[in-house]
Structure 1
Amino acid sequence: MRMIIVGCGRNGSGLALALSKMGHNVTVIDSNAAAFKELGPNFKGETIEGIGFDQDVLLKAKIKKTDALAAFTSSDESNAVIARISREIYHVPKVVARLYDREKAEIYKRLGVQTLSSTAWGIQRAADLLCYSPLHTVFSMGNGEVELVEIETTPLMEGHKVSELSIPGEVSIVSITRGNKTLLPTMATILQREDILHVAALVSSVGRLERLFGISNGKGI
């Protein structure tokens, strides 16, 4: 995947290095060229000196061909602007913004920008959000411990009861959109082809969810 990290401080550089080691094509943007020293001599990606919300800089970083972007500068306002430009103008599929102000973070979540607060942030967590997943995160709750994800039923899921796809205290199907109607399922509700599920899950249980729903390399149901 092609990724852009804006901000090369301790957190941004750590994320860039982690993603690069995972084999992704990473470009780091920072207004201070000296910040790139944080990446060390073994960083295999690209670096660009410039302002992260300058569209000429973003175009130089090939944002039109980018799969994911993380805005990790020290400014909440800059991160929010970068995230919204990336989502609304360039339609980057995965965008994450680091916001220190939790109240602002909640506002931007409602606007469709995935955010990480200072209490919830972690390099692995950010990497998970940026990397491809068959799960589409609709909303993060609390400090990011619980997520509401959207999933379309797979062939393995069809014909199974909701009770078979639930893990008490970890994974719960909270709604099913079928055709033009959305319903609240019971444990006896049977999944059908093309159902869209909204599932509440602990972040720590996402791996189990993927295996249970048959959307990973696990055996599934």
Structure 2
Amino acid sequence: MKSIIVGGGKIGYYLLKTLKERNFDVVVIENDKRVCQSIAEDIGVEVICGDGTDIDVLIDAGINDAEVVAAVTGADEDNLVVCQIAKSIFHITKTIARVNNPKNIAMFKKLGVDKTVCSTAVIANLIEGEFDKDNFRIVQTFERGNMILVEIKIDKGSLWDDSFIKDLILPKDCVVTSILRNDKAIYPRGNSRIVNDDNILILTSSNGLNDLRKQFRGTKEK
């Protein structure tokens, strides 16, 4: 699965580094040749030097094979254009835009951008969440990306299957807010049991989400 990052500045650089460490197939588009060279040497990802709002440049970057496009330049107008092109022309299912001016968030959403965030860590989690969406789904972000509501699908034999809420060892900054079962919401109490096919809503921080995903990828000991 492939993601394209438009913008290789400070935010884009650390985003690329994070995704590279998580072993994702990622390509960056950046119009500054010196920045392109620096990214290629330091991080070792594929770099396309050009304008991310140019359709031909996006095609060269492999947008036809991409599932996620994240526009993280320092210009909100460019980020909006990139996401609109990705949606309307290339039918990308997930577009993420960095918003430098919080006043633009409502406008971005009205114009079809899937997610608007300010934090590098949150953008990385949104991209990873898209590739891990069978079990993890980021429902919403709050406080400019500092708080995240995530939904986790419980599979048979997974870490929390057939467990009581009171017995869960949750990472720091993680709170179970609801259990969704058969289209009904259950308020979680200590003696509430989690079963196969439940969906668990958890409010967490960016760091908490990383720890939660690492923990949950384990399986129950037999």
TM-score (norm. length: structure 2): 0.74
Residue 184 (structure 1) aligns with: 187
Give the match for residue 164 of structure 1.
Answer: 167
2:41 is paired with a residue of what secondary structure? coil
2:60 counterpart of 1:60: yes
Contact in 1 for aligned 2:171/2:212 (Cα 8 Å):
no
1:216: how far off?
1.7
* Structure 2 unmatched ranges of 5 or more: none
| Cα distance in 1 between the residues matched to 2:194 and 2:87 | 32
Distance in structure 2 (CA, Å) of the matches to 1:198 and 1:77: 34
The answer to which of 191-200 and 26-35 deviates more is 26-35
Report the RMSD for the aligned CA atoms in angstroms. Answer: 3.4
Counterpart of 2:127 in structure 1: which amino acid? L
* Bigger helix share: 2
Q: Where does residue 15 of structure 2 map in the other structure?
A: 15
Q: What is the one-letter code of the residue matched to 1:127?
A: A
Alpha-carbon deviations, 1:151-172, whole Å to 9, x = none? Answer: 1112232332233337497222
CA contact (8 A) 1:159 1:192 kept: yes
Which consecutive unaligned segments of at least 5 residues does structure 1 have?
A: none
The alpha carbon displacement at 1:200 in A equals 1.0
What residue number does 1:78 align with? 78
Aligned residues: percent identity? 26
Structure 2 residue aligned with 1:198, among 197, 201, 212? 201
Inter-partner Cα distance in structure 2 for 1:22 and 1:29 = 19
Q: Given the two structures, how large is their TM-score scaled by the length of structure 1?
A: 0.75
Which range is displaced more, 148-157 or 162-171?
Answer: 162-171
Work out the number of aligned pairs and report it.
215
Q: Work out whether 1:4 is the aligned partner of 2:4.
A: yes
2:147 corresponds to which residue?
A: 146
**AA paired with 1:201?**
T
